[in-house]
Amino acid sequence: SFLQVIMKLAVYEPTEYSRYLEGLLRQIRDVAGSTITFYEDLQFMVEDIESGGDSFDILIVVCGERPSEGINAAYQIKFHLADCQIIFIQQSDLLIPEVYRVEHVCALSKKHVPLLLIDAVQKAVKNLLEKDRRVIYVNVDHEKRYIPLRNVFYLERVQRKTKICYETNMGKKAEIETSFSVQQILSPFQKNPFVRCHKSIFVNMQKIEGFHSAYLLLTSQERIPIGRTYQTQVRAAFLKFADSNLVEY
């Protein structure tokens, strides 16, 4: 029952090979109850995602005679669907260096598909289960922006606005503001990784790289001050978080 969590699976393959892949995927009982979308046109697939018309959890890309086209499309999809798991299928065992531009589960040659494709899908599912997929959203210029909770560095209340500092899908730091309070943003989550370290700042403990008595060092290399009245609280919360989430080697 490992595929019960999958909402959508997509396949790009413009030839008759798509029928073979569909038959292979349908052999898994739980996939039969999930949605599998087949795309024959790369540009249509990318535009469909960019417009918000569709989304999926796993994408299988069959690299044809011009593999760069499928790889570039996967790169664009990954930009819009950061959690999407990519599986490349190549014509042969020859290495295609371009695939390493895109974070992917694996790259299989067609001759290995019958034996290894299902294993690859299982690995993709495992990756999805291990991710914190919760999101927060804010309205910016009359459109909703969705931000994975694990990407947020910190929330800061400034003059009746809350600044959300987060990491983009491209690994860059960005900021947006909302009229929602910090409490309103975090209240929908029964548990969240945030700790209050200052009168106006809540830090995501997933983003703490270093702990100092006067400040927290984030993975962005930004230093966030710890208010005197919050030092004991922050230390206790972080030790509890680390004890339940980190493994020491």
Residue pLDDT tens, the chain, 249 long: 344 444 688 999 888 888 888 888 877 655 545 678 889 888 888 888 877 767 788 999 998 878 888 899 999 888 888 788 999 998 887 778 888 888 899 999 999 999 999 889 888 888 887 777 688 877 777 777 778 888 899 999 998 899 999 988 667 899 999 988 999 999 888 788 999 999 999 999 989 988 888 999 999 999 999 999 999 999 999 888 877 665 443
Write phi, then psi, for 112 (nearest 5 degrees).
-95, -5
Sheet holding 152-158, edge to edge: 173-178, 161-167, 152-158, 201-204, 194-198
Q: Which amino acid is at 113?
A: V
Question: Rounded to whole angstroms, how far apart are CA atoms 96 and 109?
Answer: 11
Write phi, then psi, for 223 (nearest 5 degrees).
-100, 125
Q: What is the distance of C-alpha 173 from the center of its chain?
A: 16
- Which residues share a beta bridge with 196? 202
